[in-house]
Structure 1
Amino acid sequence: MNLVAFTASGVQHWGVRAPGGVLALSGEFPQWRTLRNVIAAGAIPAVLDAATGRLASHTEGSFTYDIPVADPEKIICVGLNFPDRNAEYRDGEAAPPNMSLFIRFPRSFTGHGQPLIRPLESPQLDYEGEIAIVIGRPGRRIPEGDALTHIAALTLCNEGTIRDWVQHAKFNVTQGKNWDRSGAMGPWLVPFTEPSQIADIQLTTRVNGEVRQQDRTSRMLFPIARQIAYISTFTTLVPGDIIVTGTPTGAGARFDPPVWLKPGDVVEVEADGIGTLRNGVADE
């Protein structure tokens, strides 16, 4: 079973996937307002036990998916983490000694099934399919060998980017990475139980059914355990924090000429064992 956050009839809920829809459980556990609270309490097993054998409370079409963890303390994104993606920069550096990082805000994401929003200020909306991890155990200076035990769950991310705004300044990408609802996250949280769930899985991004990005986590320049260890060196990771782990080559900016997302397009990000995050595109 997977954990979901959703809205039905204007009311936000959390619960689990169930046959034909979702089962709301938030009303049964009022002490945990959001899935972040469930994660912080170490209560994922208890929640899944409570859902065993039960039917959906809300059928597909009667609710909308929300971002699984809508209230994280921080979302940290890893850039240039696949060999072919790094090679796009043509700087002669095969593998940088340290990972590139930047921050995104929760408001810059929307849920599964909701449109990515192309802003008035630029047509250059691009996609970046990624796997995201959600921290379950807090830690500072986490040893790499212990890092995976700090993961609570996995989800998917379309790290949508406004490309020309990434280049507005010399030293940062913040402006291009944080437009409201320019990216997506979801559809759900897959509880993390063993390293094989992320060790060598395929990550694929499709636009209108065409494969644009595809690679395997085993080819990451900085594996996920290394990401957790490095990031926790300078900041304490807390339950509900999200690390977006990097995208393969093949974003629209790398076509000649570039191919930007436009209203009517459908973007799908899929990873083995996690699922498929699907979003359309709409103008603001």
Structure 2
Amino acid sequence: MSARTRFVSFTHVDRPGWGLETEDGIIDLSRRYGHRWPSLREVVEAHALAALAEECADHAPDFPVDEMAYDIPIPRPEKIICVGVNYPDRNEEYKDGQAAPGNPSLFVRFPRSFVGHGQALVRPPESDQLDYEGEIALVIGKTGRRISEAAALYHVAGLTLCNEGTIRDWVRHAKFNVTQGKNFDGTGSLGPWLIPYVDEAQIADIALETRVNGAVRQRDRTSRMIFSFRRIIAYVSTFTTLVPGDVIVTGTPTGAGARREPPVWLKPGDVVEVEADGLGVLRNDVRDEVA
């Protein structure tokens, strides 16, 4: 399986589908295999990514990329679990004098809170404090509970990018939780592709960067994460069974808008890009929600 294998979920002529993106266009595998695997979630569950990539890589594209709209790579995942404060400089941003925590800080997001690559992030009327957080997301491919760190990466099917957009003042809307500020509809994004996981070298030292209107706001490397991919999977699977299609968003570097002096929030017309080695560029503009 080539390192350039790019699975994609899309909407084409008002029809949801999935397939392979090539330099020349989209190979629509949902037309060929949709009766068997309605979406990429079922492909992941069947452990069929590698076989499909090998079998179909030389097929002629069915339509150009600009004729379709990107959807989030895995539709309707059972769980989206996000890790907070997972880079050392990010921990220092809190200026609370505390060392990095002993275990990952976690919260959940709902699929409806994300849009695909190229779709607009939505600033809701309740707040103007829409912020960005560039991250790398793991897609689980194999069911497991109480997974050991040694075995953790065997449960990964692929990777994608995430802009874990946040409504900052709603993160502190109550006493103990961040759920509200993390789940406004359409405030984050996932994509553009599902890149199949090959081996640990693929993820050991990924350069991750977030830009707003072309200016670099966040930059770090996965080798510096406080909690490794292995540790995150092992920890999460202690309390919940991970199943194919689950998404784990692994944390953002320092530099979010909330931590700038003064804070800088996203506004309509801004363009946010999240880029990482081997995973492409996730790009979204910003608009106000239309009632």
Same fold (TM over 0.5): yes
Residue in 2 aligned with 1:136? 141
Secondary structure of residue in 1 paired with 2:218: strand
Q: Which runs of 5+ in 1 are unaligned?
A: none
Give, in whole Å, the separation in 2 of the partners of 1:23 and 1:66: 16
The structure 2 residue matched to 1:5, chosen from 6, 9, 17, is: 9
- Deviation of 1:46 after TM superposition, in Å, equals 2.2
TM-score w.r.t. length of structure 2: 0.96
The structure 1 residue matched to 2:31, chosen from 21, 27, 30, is: 27
Is 1:185 matched with 2:190?
yes
Query: Over residues 145-171 of structure 1, what are the superposed CA-to-partner deviations in whole Å (9 max), with x where a residue is unaligned?
Result: 110111000000000000000010111
Secondary structure of residue in 1 paired with 2:67: coil
Alignment of 1:212-231 (within 5 A): 212-231=217-236
Secondary structure of residue in 2 paired with 1:61: helix
The structure 2 residue matched to 1:120, chosen from 121, 125, 130, is: 125
The answer to which of 154-163 and 15-24 deviates more is 15-24
- Aligned AA for 1:12? P
The answer to which of 17-26 and 104-113 deviates more is 17-26
Query: Over residues 19-63 of structure 1, what are the superposed CA-to-partner deviations in whole Å (9 max), with x where a residue is unaligned?
Result: 232111012111101101000011112221232212221202110
- Aligned AA for 2:7? L
Query: Over residues 214-240 of structure 1, what are the superposed CA-to-partner deviations in whole Å (9 max), with x where a residue is unaligned?
Result: 000011000010000000000000000
The structure 1 residue matched to 2:82, chosen from 68, 77, 99, is: 77
Residue in 2 aligned with 1:18? 22
- Deviation of 1:91 after TM superposition, in Å, equals 2.0
Q: Which runs of 5+ in 2 are unaligned?
A: none
- Aligned AA for 1:116? L
RMSD of equivalent CA atoms: 0.8
Task: State, as a whole percentage, how many aligned pairs show the same letter.
Answer: 64
Give, in whole Å, the separation in 2 of the partners of 1:50 and 1:109: 31
How many equivalent pairs are there? 284
- Aligned AA for 1:208? N
Is 1:235 matched with 2:256?
no
TM-score w.r.t. length of structure 1: 0.99
The structure 1 residue matched to 2:46, chosen from 41, 63, 87, is: 41
Which portions of structure 1, spanning 4 or more consecutive aligned residues, are displaced by more than 6 angstroms?
A: none
Secondary structure of residue in 1 paired with 2:157: strand
